[in-house]
């Protein structure tokens, strides 16, 4: 993420944002809703409408879409939506970099301290965002806290359910991340805490384990899950199950090598 050209980010991303809500830069939102997308033109308008319905009367928020190198009309649909939704911000990648990189771009662009993520395919229900928001308030102000959605009643194909069940069971056994459904796209956490996590491709699948590695806490909240009704899935057995199993060993390696320093004294020249 440090090298924008290597990762396919625009060299001047601020110039690619349309109808940026930051025109009123003094009004910092309470929540940033982050939606990475790749070729989801058919789902843009409907999902943004649902986000607005869930949050308009609840709190001040912004929506940040990262168009991760889409080759369909995703960007055009986002521009159309921005004419009606003034707190929608759009960032574009030159090429497809993957969900984790798109998520990092969105987090860096966010202005709120708390952020919530959604998959762009419409399977996550924005009506669950207030539930995660309320749970985070109940949990206090812990820096490394992640609230994770739990799709107890998944509306997916048998192949997806089977691969996720294997991956989740294996991940929990190796990482002890206390999370039954780490692959659920809806999560809420602090922006600053996320930016201190180690970045790697596919890291979005391991956020609970990475937050726990920092000494934090992961809480799961049951959420609604819906079948995909428009567009095509970008994940299958090859890039969901097998890559996830291999990456689990990498995260376990990271877990074993972190050290938490406890500062007992700090002095400066003025003291």
Q: What is the CATH number of the domain that holds 16?
A: 3.90.550.10
Does residue 166 sit within a domain? no
3-state secondary structure of 150: strand
Q: Say how many CA atoms lie within 13 Å of 230 toward its Cβ.
A: 13
Rounded CA separation 68/96 (Å)? 5
Residue 150 and residue 181: Cα distance in Å, rounded?
Answer: 5
77 within a domain of the structure (yes/no): yes
Query: What confidence category does residue 255 fall into, taking pLDDT thresholds of 50, 70 and 90?
Result: confident
> Which residue spans within 99-258 are E strands per DSSP?
114-117, 145-150, 187-190, 217-222
Q: Which residue in this structure is represented by tokens 């009643």?
A: 153
In sequence order, which ranges of 8-111 are alpha helices (DSSP H)?
Answer: 44-55, 74-82, 99-109
Domain extent, residue 95, equals 6-155+178-232
Q: Residue 239: CB partners within 8 Å, gap ≥ 6?
A: none
Q: List pLDDT tens digits, range 84-127.
A: 999 999 999 999 999 999 999 999 999 999 999 999 999 999 99
Q: Does a structural domain hold residue 107?
A: yes
Judge whether 122 lies within some domain.
yes
Position 247 in a domain: no
How far apart CA 148 and CA 5 sit, in angstroms, is: 32
Flag whether 130 is in a domain: yes
Band of the pLDDT at 197, cuts 50, 70, 90? very high
Asked whether residue 239 is assigned to any structural domain, the reply reads no
The answer as to whether 125 is a domain residue is yes
Total domains present in the chain: 1
Per the structure block, which two tokens stand in for 100? 């984790």
DSSP 23: G
Q: Is the pTM of this model over 0.95?
A: no
pLDDT digits (tens, 9 = 90+) for 128-181: 999 999 998 887 667 889 999 998 877 666 666 666 677 777 777 888 888 888
């Amino acid at each position: 993420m440090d090298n924008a050209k290597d990762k396919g980010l625009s060299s001047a991303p601020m110039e690619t944002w349309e109808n940026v809500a930051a025109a009123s830069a003094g009004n910092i939102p309470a929540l940033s809703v982050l939606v990475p997308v790749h070729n989801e033109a058919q789902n843009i308008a409907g999902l943004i409408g649902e986000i607005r319905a869930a949050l308009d009367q609840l709190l001040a928020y912004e929506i940040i879409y990262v168009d991760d190198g889409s080759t369909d009309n995703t960007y055009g649909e986002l521009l159309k939506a921005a004419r009606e939704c003034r707190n929608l911000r759009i960032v574009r990648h030159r090429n497809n970099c993957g969900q984790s990189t798109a998520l990092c771009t969105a987090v860096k662009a966010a202005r709120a301290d708390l952020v919530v993520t959604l998959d762009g395919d419409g399977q996550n229900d924005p009506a669950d965002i207030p539930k995660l928001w309320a749970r985070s308030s109940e949990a206090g102000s812990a820096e490394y806290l992640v609230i994770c959605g739990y799709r107890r009643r998944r509306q997916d194909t048998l192949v997806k359910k089977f691969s996720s069940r294997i991956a989740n069971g294996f991940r929990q056994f190796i990482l002890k991340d206390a999370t039954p459904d780490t692959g659920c796209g809806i999560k809420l956490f602090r922006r600053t805490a996320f930016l201190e996590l180690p970045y790697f491709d596919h890291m979005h699948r391991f956020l609970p384990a990475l937050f726990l590695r920092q000494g934090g806490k992961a809480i799961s909240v049951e959420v609604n899950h819906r079948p995909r009704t428009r567009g095509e899935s970008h994940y299958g057995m090859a890039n969901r199950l097998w890559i996830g199993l291999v990456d689990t060993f990498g995260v376990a390696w990271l877990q074993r090598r972190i050290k938490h320093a406890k500062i007992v004294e700090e002095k400066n020249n003025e003291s």
